[in-house]
Amino acid sequence: TQLLEQSPQFLSIQEGENLTVYCNSSSVFSSLQWYRQEPGEGPVLLVTVVTGGEVKKLKRLTFQFGDARKDSSLHITAAQPGDTGLYLCVRCGSARQLTFGSGTQLTVLP
Amino acid sequence: NAGVTQTPKFQVLKTGQSMTLQCAQDMNHEYMSWYRQDPGMGLRLIHYSVGAGITDQGEVPNGYNVSRSTTEDFPLRLLSAAPSQTSVYFCASSSGRPQETQYFGPGTRLLVL
């Protein structure tokens, strides 16, 4: 089993603070996705990164794929309560080859 | 366009009972999958299907059956429920191409007593 480690497991911050969460693997990703899951709902795709060193921005969210394609980070600038949720990184391929990390549970306090 | 729908939202079963979790999608996706989500363990693949009439096992298939008679529907059957099957179950669909978006349903919360 190819494990995905996400850190931190839990993060609680005040509105307006910045934060970074991480996704690491011992093996190379062909590509990686980040999903956000809100309470009582299914995960929703945020971004897909494919190329080593790639950086993608989605409003206040910045996603980076490591040069060696073995790690990724998600940085949130000026977090808002609406950012609260479980952030999941996913090693992707065919449906048979999806591997989910255990997630980072983010709580942004007003 | 409803996306992926799941029923029921909540279910309580007694050990040994059977039930079927329903999943339907209206996006004409070939790939459909069932996952279970347990605290601290992310989502684990139970069964998946690459098209009508074709199913295969995922990481944790024991105790579950699936069938895919139509493109739209992918039910998950618990044959004889056990407390270890207490979990949140998610159905997902996608076009099946690598890196494509997985669309998830809202989940079914199952408690087995």
pLDDT at A96 over 70: no
For B11-55, the pLDDT digits (tens) are 999 999 999 999 999 999 999 999 999 987 789 999 999 999 999
What pLDDT is recorded for position B4?
Answer: 97
For A38-90, the pLDDT digits (tens) are 989 999 999 999 999 999 999 999 999 999 989 999 999 999 999 999 999 99
pLDDT band at A94 (very low <50, low <70, confident <90, very high): low
- B49, amino acid identity: S
Question: Which segments within chain B are labelled E, that is strand?
Answer: 4-7, 10-13, 19-25, 31-37, 43-51, 54-57, 64-66, 76-78, 87-94, 103-104, 108-112
Contact B43 A30 (CB under 8 A): no
Contact A96 B48 (CB under 8 A): yes
Dist CA B66 CA B28 (whole Å) = 19
Asked if B90 reaches chain A (Cβ–Cβ under 8 Å), the answer is yes
Cβ atoms within 10 Å, residue A44: 15
For B63-86, the pLDDT digits (tens) are 999 999 999 999 999 999 999 999
Structure tokens belonging to residue A67: 């040069």
Residues A93, B98 contacting (CB under 8 angstroms): yes
Chain A positions contacting chain B at CB under 8 Å are 1, 4, 9, 30-31, 33, 35, 40-45, 48, 50, 88, 90, 92-96, 98, 100-103
* pLDDT over 90, % of chain A: 75
